Amino acid sequence: MGETLSKDARSEAASQKNAEVVVAVPVAEPAPASLDDPITLIPIDETGLERLKRMYVGEGFEMELDATVRMTRTAFFVGFFFGGFGSAKDAHERYERHAAGKTFINKRDAIRRRWDYGTVMFAKNGFKMGIRAAAIAGSVIALTTHATVYFNHYSPAYFPAFSGVAAFLVHRACGVFAFPLGIVGQIQALGLGTVTGSMLGAVSWLYALSVDKPVAEAYKEFKREYEEDMKVRNADEIAVDAIMKEEGYRLRILAYRRLHEKQRQKLEEAAKAHDA
């Protein structure tokens, strides 16, 4: 009888021990199903190429792409006008040399030909300078922002490094600056690009000092504010795209008018609700 009780006690203790062991085993948590989970949106082991891909195929606004496009466009227009106005005097002197001894129908014809030649040379020289300026400025901004995304880190050294390389390559290809061709001119272009890029890097460093943060953290804060401003600036564009898709407008100007009508109706309804 005593042996039976001892066996039952031992079996009960063993079962309790096994139950404790079973309870102590941790249960795996289910994977997050929400797209708002930060682990789903930004994986910890995300590579640089994956970050670059997400920058292009993502649905949000990206500062890097917008800044590259805006700076390239601005550099083209600035270079276009500087190139056109800078070559106006040479174009005038060249026209006078070619027009010497030629007979025109009348005075009006001579003036018209002079203006036509000046307009063509302005556009030609301006376009050449605009393309070169856009190539340098756009490549510097694109390389700097894309390197920041790839390495997930910003450094002020990116600007002088990429600016020097871009100036060196563009001057080697088509001779942008008033430097001689050959290795001497290429080295001068490299030096000028490095110096101008250092100024841009110094601007980012001064911005970091003004917000009292490290340079990398200041860059992230600037990116966040820039993209928030992009959302505000493009709110009407997003609303117009939605109206064109929902209501079948083919012309954006009509969709803009419809958007303004909706906004006016909302203001009137808000004013009536406030008066009531």
Q: Kindly give the confidence (pLDDT) of every residue in the chain, 276 residues in length, as a single tens digit, with 9 standing for 90 and above.
A: 444 445 454 555 555 544 444 444 444 444 443 334 333 344 556 788 888 888 888 666 788 888 899 999 999 999 899 888 887 778 777 777 776 767 767 777 777 877 888 888 888 888 988 888 888 888 899 999 999 999 988 888 899 898 888 888 877 776 666 566 777 777 877 887 888 888 888 998 898 888 888 988 999 989 898 888 888 777 777 788 788 888 888 888 888 888 888 888 888 888 878 776
For residue 150, the Cα-to-chain-centroid distance in whole angstroms is 14
**Number of residues written out for the chain:** 276
Separation of alpha carbons 94 and 214, rounded Å: 55
Spatial distance between the Cα atoms of 135 and 167, rounded to a whole number of angstroms: 9
Cα–Cα distance, 68 to 64 (Å, whole number): 6
Nearest residue to 55 via CA among 67, 64, 47: 64
The closest of 72, 203, 85 to 136, measured between CA atoms, is 72
End-to-end CA distance of the chain: 91
DSSP 106: S
Alpha-helical runs (H) found in 87-214: 88-99, 107-151, 158-174, 183-210
Locate 22 and state its tokens: 């079973």
pTM, 2 dp: 0.65
Listed residue (168, 195, 194, 191) closest to 181, CA to CA = 168
Neighbours of 188 (CB within 10 A): 17
CB 192 within 8 A of CB 168: no
